[in-house]
Structure 1
């Protein structure tokens, strides 16, 4: 499981109902489990809609069939089973989508939760609070993951070359890499980790390999003469 994907922070195996589940049973599930919505799945296990607290509230209207209201909401005011109460299609996200993708979907749709699919079937549910919670991760834990999993394992950069410090989720990276093109991957991979607020990349480099193809690689202005090598 990738720590930077939806599957790492979602609530697995969410409560679902069938299209024929009665109104009162849905209300009992929501209140009894302290949740705000249930998924509606058909006989094949496919998600066909969502019933939320908002879908139940029209039953409290004084006028169940007000002419000036939206027809869809008016139908919910007299609905008795999930298939007539649900909002369809449901807003979903893939289990292996990045947290950034999920955050963008929340912003685009304005929904409070996203049902998570894996192979077309419901695997979990993700709330906005689940995403916010990643920023409560401890600095020491985050610093260890950056040092071990990102710098050492993925980029082969030991503490003798690159060091990190994490304070309040802000990551400061210092040191020197061999090539200028090695700098951007450090920032990108650290940014992908859940809990990172900002990356302040202060890496220096020995050789500038970002110029035009025909230009020779030039050492950084800050490089020490003793580090230069003949190519």
Structure 2
């Protein structure tokens, strides 16, 4: 696995509904499939919103009147179809975006999931736990990828020049490169690999080509 994109860890072909799908059918889909939300598609197949568990809960209010000064939630308390229940627009991300972009979107939007688009159509759904899961990669697998894909294939640095050690996702590189400007790309490329917790770059250089 090389530098990870959203498509590498997303759940493909998520469950979706139409704007006319009923409240009860949505509730059954959520509970029956063990999911927390469904995407809502219009007649063209475009994603127009999301109905989550939170969108259904206002139906349990004793009084559906907008006493919380939130007419949007009050409307959901009496809504019967996805069109009126959904939160719109949906927060989306492209399938080929790097995981770092997805992580930033989760932090900024505080949503629990991102619907993933490919060519404008729903291709998957990405949950926060999917990102956390990338850190479960084994150290041996990660060390092999750093050594072979990053150092050898991309940067042309063999084990005679740079050594690698990975422990608990922390990547340590030691050795000597030709130029000082060769050091930063090592850190950057390793940091982009899925499963890397930290990069400790201890490389030395022969001559300083940085002003």
- Distance, in Å, in 2 between the alignment partners of 1:37 and 1:69 is 25
The normalised TM-score by structure 2 is 0.97
Q: Does 1:139 align with 2:139?
A: yes
Q: In the alignment, what sits opposite 1:170? A: 170
CA shift digits 1:98-149 (9 cap, x unpaired):
1111111111111100101111111110001001111111111100111111
Residue 44 of structure 1: how far off its partner (Å) = 1.4
Deviation at 1:67, TM superposition (A): 3.2
Q: For residue 112 of structure 1, what is the aligned residue in structure 2?
A: 112
- Bigger Rg, which one: 1
Q: Which residue of 2 aligns with 1:103?
A: 103
| CA shift digits 1:43-86 (9 cap, x unpaired) | 21111000000000011111122433410000000000000000
**Shift in CA distance, 11/111, structure 1 to aligned 2, threshold 3 Å:** same
For the 8 Å contact 2:66–2:73, the answer to whether it is kept is no
Residue pair 1:9, 1:131 contacting (<8 A) in 2 also: yes
Aligned equivalent of 1:218: none
CA distance in 2, matches of 1:26, 1:186: 48
**Corresponding residue SS for 2:14:** coil
CA displacement at 1:2 relative to structure 2 = 5.3
**Where do 5+ consecutive residues of structure 1 fail to align?**
212-231
Structure 2 spans left out of the alignment, 5+ residues: none
In the aligned structure 2, how far is the partner of 1:74 from the partner of 1:2?
A: 47
Inter-partner Cα distance in structure 1 for 2:2 and 2:15: 24
Number of equivalenced pairs: 211
Give the match for residue 82 of structure 1: 82
Q: Secondary structure at the match of 2:142?
A: helix
**2:130 matched to which residue of 1?**
130
Shift of 1:18: 0.5
Could you tell which deviates more after superposition, 61-70 or 75-84?
61-70
- Quote the Cα distance in structure 1 between the aligned partners of 2:118 and 2:66: 40
Q: Distance in 2 between matches of 1:42 and 1:106?
A: 25
* Aligned partners of 2:64 and 2:78 also within 8 Å: yes
List 4+ stretches of structure 1 deviating above 3 A.
Answer: 66-69
Matched residues in 1 for 2:207 and 2:160: separation? 18
> Structure 1 residue 210 and structure 2 residue 210: aligned?
yes
RMSD over aligned CA atoms reads 1.1
Q: What is residue 68 of structure 1 aligned with on the other side? A: 68
In the other structure, the counterpart of 2:154 is 154
TM-score, length-scaled by structure 1:
0.89
The answer as to whether partners of 1:135 and 1:195 remain within 8 angstroms in 2 is: yes
Are the counterparts in 2 of residues 169 and 195 from structure 1 also a CA contact under 8 Å?
A: yes
